[in-house]
Amino acid sequence: MTAIRAPSRPGAGIVRSSRSFVVGGAAVPASPLSAGLYVVATPIGNLADVTLRALSILAGADLILAEDTRVSRTLLARYAIETPLTAYHEHNAAEARPRALGRIAEGQALALISDAGTPLVSDPGFKLVAEAVARGFAVTAAPGPSAALAALCVAGLPADRFFFEGFLPPRRSARRERINALGAIPGALVFYEAPGRLAETLADLALELGPRPAAVARELTKLHEQVRRGPLDRLAAEYAAEETPRGEIAIVVGPPLAREAVDDAALDDDIVAALRTLSVKDAAAAVAARHGLPRRQVYARALGLARAQR
């Protein structure tokens, strides 16, 4: 059998129509699409993670709505897709949304993609989908990559129940308040975070949730993928002592720890004993770590006991 050499770049030397894509050196015709909105998941890093169905929709659509056309062109070029692109993001959605819905009303098929992963997950697009549904247009999902689910897969933590929070508030007080509100959820918690706030966020998670097991997943599916696992307090200390990491980051926090219950009287006894040699802050931290309790909860009790002793 004579080996056939693939073209040096996608689509080079291949006879193809504009509604096709190239995989493994072969042109694949796109399936015909009915009018409607197609919500398409795209790779979070490794471009090989895209599904064949996603490629067929992107090649067969009349228009692709992309969060950042510069980012999306890299994916389309990889698979020699020539469908027109237009920007759709939070800053132009009010003007772009009526135009997109108008094209669907005229019988066109539009694909919605984000910079990476599944649209509407910490990305714009909800109002477009909601209005398309309200107007009776067909809305179809082409599922695929998701950083949140990928992080859950590699975290090594219980994932039968989880809550996706996305990005926490950037201000520390609001962030701590929100984490505290999430503390009682009986499942894993999944967050996205910017590299510059990672150490602060881990410290706040440890403060509010106690030493729960967690994982920090960085640059998933990319060349420098890294997953670091450990208790929240240890991860916070490690990242605080290092240079700011790079890349996209997801944090997975395990569900509330199943600990032997401690009654209020016994907890107060431990706090009082710790206060004999430690400051209120350090006593609260020591007792919280011993019992696996959030430091904020123990600190409030320690503060009250310290005042009562004066």
Q: 30-39, 179-188, 255-264, 278-287: which has the minimum mean pLDDT?
A: 255-264
Q: Which two tokens stand for residue 187?
A: 């499942």
Residues 240, 230: Cα–Cα separation, whole Å: 15
Read off the pLDDT band of 265 (50, 70, 90): confident
What is residue 244's DSSP assignment? P
Read off the pLDDT band of 298 (50, 70, 90): confident
The whole-number average pLDDT for the span 124-146 is: 95
Report the relative pairing of strands 63-66 and 36-40 from DSSP bridges. Answer: unpaired
Q: What is the pLDDT of residues 88-105, one digit of tens each?
A: 999 999 999 999 999 999
Q: Quickly tell me which residue has 């309200």 as its tokens.
A: 134
* pLDDT attached to residue 32: 93
Read off the pLDDT band of 7 (50, 70, 90): very low
Query: Which CATH number, 3.30.950.10, 3.30.379.10, 3.90.1300.10, 3.40.50.2300, labels domain 148-253?
Result: 3.30.950.10
- Per-residue pLDDT for 3 more than 60? no
Residues 272, 305: Cα–Cα separation, whole Å: 7
As assigned by CATH, the class of the 20-145 domain is alpha beta
Residues 189, 212: Cα–Cα separation, whole Å: 11
